[in-house]
Structure 1
């Protein structure tokens, strides 16, 4: 593969050598600050303008992408090439994502807590944008539009860096987005795209201006960025998703869920890479699932029990080259292809323990007819997604109803799973005094806040019903 396995986090970041990195970050912060008085109607207008310009320039974008694909083909893996290719179907879905985001409620200015501290003294917790996002991604050019749409709607400015294999497409998309924004009140630097590794290295040092880094791509890419910046990083590394066939699994559901999880889009991060089979199913459900997978051209890397069963089947011989012993690293490998690792387990609790030890905490599914097993799975699996009788491929912002997503987070702080609009806001506390003389802490008794005053007032802490945002 090309650039995705480079180390952008450790690219030369000397601010004197690359002053443009600071200039880019500063411009993004200024654009963010200037945009905070732009209302929701204007942001919706900007999204519609983006869709219109992109729709009119469809062939220009697709031609740039064809050039990227042909240039990358000799040195790029099939999985990455699949992600790089912007098909007409992907293009249409990309445009639909803009409209879906535009139609969603604004995630900002939402009151999540409101209380009266004293007569005429009110406290509100209100959602607000994070600030400036630096999004670094591999291959998939539609990410440019996804991030731009989410940034416009959520009030966050964004700086985007795609892999060099998608440089032509990214450049065209960024130019068209800027063209669309120029017809609105949003600054032209609100969404920016950069091209070089050196710029990335410099930007990762700009914690004064950039508020969050979101890497989308390989494990190597994500970890290099996490290790090379002081800016908070939100993202996921490998997409090591598993499907577990419980002792009570229905054979029809098992075949449907497993085949879809593996074959619907093998190079996606929500594609299943491991199949766990309860030992009681080895001679019943497992052969049917295996035959369906083999019929879909899936290569199976099996442990000894599951392999022995397939060797005994009359239909095994034609598929012998596609059924292999699992190597030691089979269960920690993100295949991103039509390859599936298979492991036999004795119980749902063993399956949960295996997933928690070997998965990347992305999305894991169980196929079961037993509510107790389903409950154990949902409560016990330590992943962003815990599914019951459903394909892992459902782990997607569009399918969740988020319009689109900025990425998948497997972290445990702030946002988890597909990150849509709600994952791109934090909150601030707004306090308002309507008293004629204002309010001072010295008027209240000393309490637990430290330093209190000598006054005799007591805090009310009375919840405000049906609060209305002040200064909206």
Structure 2
């Protein structure tokens, strides 16, 4: 109360420490909603969404797609303001690259939403039908999880294509917290999307959290929020896991490897490696480490590839062997994620050595707050080889969320996997792993239809447990 202007601030309705006007609650903005109210509203709206027919839910998505295209100029103007502010603030180029909505992006987002709208209905699908006993049928069906809290960094396009549209398609309520660097972009996208949700469902189906201070409160709501999906750095994922009892599906960056075997087609290898590193260097599925069979050093095949990478502007760092052979700076760590035009190169003895390297460095134990250790599992890895036995060995034994043969790591993506879109790429084992599409946002329920049966100690009932056709 002794600081300058604090009494005046309190009389104007502000709270200063423990000092506030007794009627300040009456002056509070009705637009300010606390965390619990926001989560409860999302759940109530989600139940109304689930009550709609499949065609009605699809129409919401189609309306969202149309609205995105209709408001393209407004969206791009707000995004340009975010990008300019990020550049002025000196953010890294990789973050600015993820932040910017490039030409044609809005049209691409709208088309992705339409793809989801036209997918087969995922909610209420019968997965298994069983006759328990004469006259009683049990069905296992797909069901929404409930309310999702998604905390994401930098990418406003993810709000539309990979988060909000998937929530609507899967019948879930949604709370979003984007990075401050995308504040204007997220706000306009949220406004466009929620304006397309009919009153019968309610625009509070998708809530936008604007304050970082609200996150700790949201993470306490394990009775209202069913799943947290943090999308971003390993530090972010670790912090969220350590701060909540709510199940966390960890979408994190990862060390993606490409291994070139001695039998590889070198022209193919060049194409794949260049794509894996340069197509979108900031992506979580971009190659960070290139492993090369030792025999390729002797044949000169490695030198050609190194020149190609350098010509594309890729900065190269070597492991202990490669740095000596190729005369490049030694990498500080095999765990480093560049997220830019840079990668680590190392020479290995054979496919078994490559697999061992991936298992050692593709997964990582992260120590958080000095005492809490969290295991980050491997993301995506690829082998380039013409030897089918070697390829199968690699595919079977590399314990990563996605493993590929003669293909770029950039294919590890929900859209490219045919999932329509993805809410993230999970490096966890439970409850989903790899690109997480609609199915990863569903759980199951059991529905039984009887005709008056009772258990009564199982005296009068004869269990048949007979599998039935899914169609009734």
TM-score with structure 1 setting the length? 0.87
- In the alignment, which residue of structure 2 is the partner of 1:424? 441
Asked if structure 1 preserves the Cα contact closer than 8 Å seen for 2:257 and 2:290, the reply is yes
- In the alignment, which residue of structure 2 is the partner of 1:52? 66
1:366 pairs, out of 377, 383, 391, with 383
Q: 1:366 to 1:308 in 2, by over 3 A?
A: same
Once residues 306 and 81 of structure 1 are traced to their aligned partners in structure 2, the CA distance between those partners, rounded to angstroms, is 32
Once residues 341 and 120 of structure 2 are traced to their aligned partners in structure 1, the CA distance between those partners, rounded to angstroms, is 39
Once residues 169 and 146 of structure 2 are traced to their aligned partners in structure 1, the CA distance between those partners, rounded to angstroms, is 13
2:280 pairs, out of 251, 255, 265, with 265
Asked if structure 2 preserves the Cα contact closer than 8 Å seen for 1:300 and 1:339, the reply is yes
Secondary structure, aligned partner of 1:398: coil
Aligned-residue RMSD, C-alpha: 1.6
Asked if structure 2 preserves the Cα contact closer than 8 Å seen for 1:28 and 1:190, the reply is yes
- In the alignment, which residue of structure 2 is the partner of 1:462? 466
Asked if structure 2 preserves the Cα contact closer than 8 Å seen for 1:236 and 1:410, the reply is yes
1:126 pairs, out of 141, 158, 168, with 141
Once residues 135 and 296 of structure 1 are traced to their aligned partners in structure 2, the CA distance between those partners, rounded to angstroms, is 35
Q: Aligned pair 1:339/2:355, yes or no?
A: no
Offset of residue 19 of structure 1: 7.4
Secondary structure, aligned partner of 1:362: strand
Once residues 217 and 51 of structure 2 are traced to their aligned partners in structure 1, the CA distance between those partners, rounded to angstroms, is 29
Q: Aligned pair 1:170/2:186, yes or no?
A: yes
List per-residue Cα deviations over 1:223-273 (Å, max 9, x = no partner).
100110111000232221000011211111111111110111000000000
1:156 pairs, out of 172, 177, 189, with 172
Once residues 393 and 105 of structure 1 are traced to their aligned partners in structure 2, the CA distance between those partners, rounded to angstroms, is 26
- In the alignment, which residue of structure 1 is the partner of 2:295? 280
2:329 pairs, out of 324, 327, 332, with 324
Asked if structure 1 preserves the Cα contact closer than 8 Å seen for 2:294 and 2:349, the reply is yes
Using the TM superposition, name which of 229-238 and 377-386 deviates more. 229-238
2:76 pairs, out of 46, 59, 62, with 62
Asked if structure 2 preserves the Cα contact closer than 8 Å seen for 1:107 and 1:127, the reply is yes
Asked if structure 2 preserves the Cα contact closer than 8 Å seen for 1:135 and 1:160, the reply is yes
Q: Aligned pair 1:398/2:415, yes or no?
A: yes
- In the alignment, which residue of structure 2 is the partner of 1:96? 111
Asked if structure 2 preserves the Cα contact closer than 8 Å seen for 1:407 and 1:418, the reply is yes
Secondary structure, aligned partner of 2:262: coil
Secondary structure, aligned partner of 2:217: helix
Q: 1:454 to 1:307 in 2, by over 3 A?
A: closer
Q: 1:251 to 1:122 in 2, by over 3 A?
A: same
Secondary structure, aligned partner of 1:108: coil
Offset of residue 125 of structure 1: 0.5
Secondary structure, aligned partner of 1:107: coil
Query: How do 1:1-40 and structure 2 match up within 5 A?
Result: 20-40=34-54
Q: 1:324 to 1:89 in 2, by over 3 A?
A: farther
Q: Which runs of 5+ in 1 are unaligned?
A: 1-17, 312-322, 443-452
Secondary structure, aligned partner of 2:120: coil
Once residues 361 and 78 of structure 2 are traced to their aligned partners in structure 1, the CA distance between those partners, rounded to angstroms, is 39
Asked if structure 1 preserves the Cα contact closer than 8 Å seen for 2:130 and 2:468, the reply is yes
Once residues 421 and 165 of structure 1 are traced to their aligned partners in structure 2, the CA distance between those partners, rounded to angstroms, is 28
Q: Give the length in aligned residue pairs.
A: 425
Offset of residue 454 of structure 1: 5.3
Secondary structure, aligned partner of 1:461: strand
Asked if structure 1 preserves the Cα contact closer than 8 Å seen for 2:69 and 2:106, the reply is no
Q: Which runs of 5+ in 2 are unaligned?
A: 1-31, 364-377
Asked if structure 2 preserves the Cα contact closer than 8 Å seen for 1:364 and 1:386, the reply is yes
Secondary structure, aligned partner of 2:347: strand
Once residues 352 and 381 of structure 2 are traced to their aligned partners in structure 1, the CA distance between those partners, rounded to angstroms, is 14
- In the alignment, which residue of structure 2 is the partner of 1:87? 102
Offset of residue 347 of structure 1: 1.3
Once residues 259 and 336 of structure 1 are traced to their aligned partners in structure 2, the CA distance between those partners, rounded to angstroms, is 15
Once residues 306 and 60 of structure 2 are traced to their aligned partners in structure 1, the CA distance between those partners, rounded to angstroms, is 49
Once residues 193 and 19 of structure 1 are traced to their aligned partners in structure 2, the CA distance between those partners, rounded to angstroms, is 10
- In the alignment, which residue of structure 2 is the partner of 1:114? 129
- In the alignment, which residue of structure 2 is the partner of 1:354? 357
Secondary structure, aligned partner of 2:130: strand
Offset of residue 71 of structure 1: 0.8
Once residues 250 and 278 of structure 2 are traced to their aligned partners in structure 1, the CA distance between those partners, rounded to angstroms, is 24
Once residues 267 and 310 of structure 1 are traced to their aligned partners in structure 2, the CA distance between those partners, rounded to angstroms, is 25
Once residues 351 and 455 of structure 2 are traced to their aligned partners in structure 1, the CA distance between those partners, rounded to angstroms, is 56
Asked if structure 2 preserves the Cα contact closer than 8 Å seen for 1:245 and 1:278, the reply is yes
Secondary structure, aligned partner of 2:213: helix
Using the TM superposition, name which of 235-244 and 363-372 deviates more. 235-244
Offset of residue 288 of structure 1: 1.6
Asked if structure 1 preserves the Cα contact closer than 8 Å seen for 2:62 and 2:114, the reply is yes
- In the alignment, which residue of structure 1 is the partner of 2:12? none
Once residues 457 and 152 of structure 1 are traced to their aligned partners in structure 2, the CA distance between those partners, rounded to angstroms, is 42
Offset of residue 309 of structure 1: 3.7
| Runs of 4 or more consecutive aligned structure 1 residues displaced over 6 Å after TM superposition | none
- In the alignment, which residue of structure 1 is the partner of 2:200? 185
Offset of residue 91 of structure 1: 2.1
